[in-house]
Structure 1
Amino acid sequence: MSSRLLDSPAEPTTAAPGRTPAVIRLLVLATFVVILNETILINAIPRLMSALHITEQTAQWLSTAFMLTMAAVIPITGWFLQRVPTRAAYATAMGLFLLGTALAAVAPSFEVLLGARIVQASGTAVMMPLLMTTLMQVVPEGDRGRVMGNVSLAISVAPAMGPTVSGVILQFGSWRLLFAVVLPIAAVITWSGLKQLRNVGEPRPGIIDWFSVVTAAAGFGGLVYGLSRFEGGDVRTAAAIVAAGLATITVFVLRQLSLQKRGVPLMDLRTLRHRTYTVALILMAVAFMAMLGSMMLLPLYLQNVRGLNELQAGLLVMPGGLAMGLLGPTVGRLFDRFGGRVLVVPGAIGIMLALAGFTQITMTTPYWQLLALHALLMVGLAATFTPVFTLGLGVLPPRLYSHGSSILSTLQQVSAAIGTALVITVMSARADALKSAGTAEALADLGGMRLAFVIGAALSVAVVVTALLLPARAGNTDELEVSGR
């Protein structure tokens, strides 16, 4: 593909009010496909164990490595998106995703499949910040809520659909079908995108600081890896890796503060000088911890305690995921009309009530009640995430959009890892204590899950408190940087 084709003239930085720009529709579709792939292997673990002769712990690395790669690559995307044209960034992201998917479909061994997942994740890591950055550049402020609502359709429905889609596909054959089905769809989307996509904004020249790249990858990747080790019960090793990751992130932050003085940071931390962005970041992080922890617990409860199979468990939680995504555009329109507080505060309260309800689950809780609680949780998240993303990024100056979306996406990965590690550790410790006291295994597992849901409910109280600190709209009165403008 010629560089002239990828470097076609840039579009104007804003589109006509009331319409979703074609570039955003293309990027949303591509993002849906790559994010769907993140969760599509969940139901395939037993098949992979049998076909590749590996243990469950080894098979889980196919998901862990994907998450680790995302955490390591996303911090670099803020710098990357400022230095390359939109079409080149899109071609890079989708090219890596296609290469990884094709390699996974024909992988002869676990090692090759693991490498393919890492290549896939590298492409996926670029897509989310690319979508968010482009949206902030081309969509007028008055339409951002509506368009961000459409974006949430891709972000929320895709992970919810992954396990269900994989459960259906696996009924027809090998685990390789999961990649063979995705590959032509992704190829058509890539071709269509490159045919229609135009560059947005102007790239800026600059050099890359390789020390920052290494410390970002080691720090954020190490932190997520350490948190994932808590699942296996190796607490001391996990804690040591987390500590090393945090120390490396500290070195990375200090390096960015130094580079900011010369105007060449890999991740520009001046975004944090904007109060609303920082509050939105905190709210999103805590909400993600509560959400991902609960999304991990519910399938475990449905399968291990209630005896449902993977497909049945996936179908039970699918309505909530669909509700979250399909409400996105409506939430966005309401945000454009009424502002953020009227959505975020009730949404945060809905999250808290749903998680409080999950603390009361029993061995015989009706399935309709579980479905209703999960739907309430997803609706609360839908009312929260779209306004929070829009408010947070909306207060930043255009030169910081790519860095702001990069930090937001990085924190999502880290928060997901923290939430998962927290609930798994609490659940396992409580269940082991109950088993030692003579409680039956199923009841002990249930007791562990209920206490873990209490942790999620406690986190949701912090979400409500933080929601009260957000303004209705992205104003400029308290959003000026303290220094270094």
Structure 2
Amino acid sequence: MPLRLPVPRILSRVPLAGNYPAAVIMVLLALSPYLILTTATSFALPVLMHDLSATRFELQLTSGMSNAGYAFGAVGAADLLQRLPRRVVYLLAESGFVLGSVLALSAPGIGLFMAGLILQGLCTGMLLVSALPPLILGHGIERLPFTAAVISIGLFGMVTAGPLVGGLIGSYGGWRLLYTSVAVLAAVGLTLGALTFESNEPYARGTRFDWLAIPLAFGTAFLPFFGVSWLSRGSFSDAAFLAPVIVGLLIGAVLIVGQYHKKNALMPVRPISNTLPVSGTLGAMLVGAAFTTLLELAEVYLEEVARYSPIKSGALIAPMVLGVVIASVLFKQLVTTRWTPVLALSGIVSVAVGAGILLAVSASNASAVVPVAMLFLGFGAGAGVTPGLFLAGFSVSAAQLGPTFALVELLRSEAAFLIGPVLVHLAMTTGSDFADGYRTSVVVTLILTVVGGLVVIGIWLAGGSRPKRPDLAAWASGTSTAFHSPAIGARFRKA
């Protein structure tokens, strides 16, 4: 009889309860539409500015606040799921996403469009935490490898498809049709969720609102993202950039320290503060930041220096999708073996290789060099982020999987959506033209990636951690974690 992970007692049955294909499709419909949109904006920017009578800053702020909503929504869902059935949280979040899509597609101006996108981001963060753990926990260990591949494609495969979609919009228009399609997909996801998602007894119904974690998570997400958005109209020396970023990061530090020391914390900072989950989380943050930065730099280079049309630029970036698919297939084969940490490290290496290739780009060879670089970036994203997420998830009990995902996604989003815009602004303001600044920012990204990779390796070595197969049987039974990871610096502590 196949092992099944422990799930809370079911309160009611729904028509497609326990149907694995339906659950997979539901999760993809919950996550994919928004993630495509996050990377479709760049090439569609001129069209949106014209149709919404918006400035570049207003659209950059819209994107930033939407990404902040995604990061905060994950933490908010982790709190709500303690008191509400996961079915209720899922249906509320998916309904909110449909509403946000309708607001965006019908927006006559930037105000309503911004509100719609922020609501989309907030609800997608909630959907990630409410929908992913049941898919992983409720369908047996034998399906876990395929589930892991689906999550990898759902998280980063859809992100890599965004530039091609944005290129189509930038060249041919039709962004309202795009958001209409997204709204329809979300409505299908809502219907499928109503037919698939089982209700459950909340994990801790009497738990009070976390007055430490939730307000601090709000400040951690929204303040820095506003500050970075300001760079599209200001400079690094502006108080409107410095104050929100510095205060937001300080609030984030207080949040992490507070959750580490708090008994029964909302986010399991202490349980994942050892070798494997720390290295996995740092790797996911590093890959996410480098990937986002290099993608944005390449997009601007293709438009500003190579002078390619949006559709051609999007097509040249499309090989990222193949890279993610390759990484997802590998992850499917390795997730139950001892090689997941090695795959996560290969993601960092692949992103560094992609950065090195992008240094060789010029206006005359961009059509040949960029696709090769994008293939490595896509593989790096797929191999570095989702395996890092699982390294953290396997290091806690199955019951803490949702809050762990919320914590990792908050940290990854902070890294990815803060560093990218900063280095793009650096490229635009350094040197005599963008080509000079582009190379400076790519070199900085490459250095950060290499140094970060060495730090991850150093954490492994200092912990004395050797690759081991995860104990999924114990994790499935709820008696133990899958990884028994040594403490940070365990090798030196023994000495």
Instruction: Quickly name the TM-score band, shorter chain normalised.
Output: 0.7 to 0.9
- Cα offsets for 1:221-271 (capped at 9, x unmatched): 11222233344442132122211112333443455456x33x3x3434223
Bigger Cα displacement from structure 2, 189-198 vs 382-391? 382-391
Aligned to 2:216: 215
Identity %: 20
Q: In structure 2, how many angstroms separate the alpha carbons of the residues matched to 1:330 and 1:257?
A: 34
- The correspondence of residues 245-324 of structure 1 with structure 2, limited to 5 A, is 245-253=248-256, 255-257=258-260, 260-261=262-263, 263=264, 265-324=265-324
- The correspondence of residues 321-332 of structure 1 with structure 2, limited to 5 A, is 321-325=321-325, 327-332=327-332
Aligned to 2:73: 73
Q: In structure 2, how many angstroms separate the alpha carbons of the residues matched to 1:244 and 1:66?
A: 19
Does the Cα contact within 8 Å between 2:285 and 2:413 map onto a contact in 1? no
* Structure 1 segments of 4+ aligned residues over 6 angstroms from their partners: none
- The correspondence of residues 43-82 of structure 1 with structure 2, limited to 5 A, is 43-82=43-82
Aligned to 1:392: 392
Distance 1:253 1:466, change over 3 A: closer
- Cα offsets for 1:293-330 (capped at 9, x unmatched): 10110011111000012111111111222431354134
Aligned to 1:373: 373
Does the Cα contact within 8 Å between 2:357 and 2:373 map onto a contact in 1? yes
Q: In structure 1, how many angstroms separate the alpha carbons of the residues matched to 2:374 and 2:419?
A: 17
Does the Cα contact within 8 Å between 1:160 and 1:322 map onto a contact in 2? no
Q: In structure 2, how many angstroms separate the alpha carbons of the residues matched to 1:85 and 1:408?
A: 23
Does the Cα contact within 8 Å between 2:90 and 2:131 map onto a contact in 1? no
Whether 2:230 is the aligned partner of 1:229: answer yes
Aligned to 1:26: 26
- Cα offsets for 1:130-175 (capped at 9, x unmatched): 3443244235556534421211111122122223224435666543
Aligned to 2:420: 420
Q: In structure 2, how many angstroms separate the alpha carbons of the residues matched to 1:379 and 1:39?
A: 17
Aligned to 2:476: none
Whether 2:242 is the aligned partner of 1:242: answer no
Bigger Cα displacement from structure 2, 276-285 vs 202-211? 202-211
- Cα offsets for 1:191-214 (capped at 9, x unmatched): 122112224675321110345422
One of 480, 485, 488 as aligned partner of 1:478: 485
Number of aligned residues: 456
Bigger Cα displacement from structure 2, 361-370 vs 283-292? 361-370
2:441 corresponds to which letter in structure 1? A
Distance 1:275 1:22, change over 3 A: farther
Whether 2:333 is the aligned partner of 1:333: answer yes
2:404 corresponds to which letter in structure 1? G
Distance 1:274 1:299, change over 3 A: same
Bigger Cα displacement from structure 2, 131-140 vs 207-216? 131-140
Aligned to 1:440: none
TM-score of the two chains, using structure 2 as the length reference: 0.83
1:396 corresponds to which letter in structure 2? V
Does the Cα contact within 8 Å between 1:230 and 1:424 map onto a contact in 2? no
Does the Cα contact within 8 Å between 1:100 and 1:119 map onto a contact in 2? yes
Bigger Cα displacement from structure 2, 60-69 vs 302-311? 60-69
Does the Cα contact within 8 Å between 1:427 and 1:452 map onto a contact in 2? yes
Aligned to 1:445: 434
2:217 corresponds to which letter in structure 1? A
Q: Which runs of 5+ in 2 are unaligned?
A: 1-9, 471-481, 489-495
Does the Cα contact within 8 Å between 1:23 and 1:198 map onto a contact in 2? no
Whether 2:446 is the aligned partner of 1:457: answer yes
Bigger Cα displacement from structure 2, 341-350 vs 116-125? 341-350
Does the Cα contact within 8 Å between 1:145 and 1:387 map onto a contact in 2? no
- Secondary structure, in 3 states, of the residue corresponding to 1:267? coil
Does the Cα contact within 8 Å between 1:283 and 1:467 map onto a contact in 2? yes
Aligned to 2:101: 101
Q: In structure 1, how many angstroms separate the alpha carbons of the residues matched to 2:446 and 2:365?
A: 19
Aligned to 1:439: none
Q: Which runs of 5+ in 1 are unaligned?
A: 1-6, 436-443
TM-score of the two chains, using structure 1 as the length reference: 0.85
1:462 corresponds to which letter in structure 2? V
Bigger Cα displacement from structure 2, 303-312 vs 202-211? 202-211
- Cα offsets for 1:422-458 (capped at 9, x unmatched): 4224313422xxx2xxxxxxxx311111111111211
- Secondary structure, in 3 states, of the residue corresponding to 2:318? helix
Does the Cα contact within 8 Å between 1:166 and 1:178 map onto a contact in 2? no
Q: CA deviation at 1:291?
A: 0.9
- Cα offsets for 1:22-59 (capped at 9, x unmatched): 43442133211232233344333222322232222223
Does the Cα contact within 8 Å between 2:86 and 2:200 map onto a contact in 1? yes
Q: In structure 1, how many angstroms separate the alpha carbons of the residues matched to 2:345 and 2:102?
A: 44
Q: For the aligned residues, what is the CA RMSD? A: 2.9
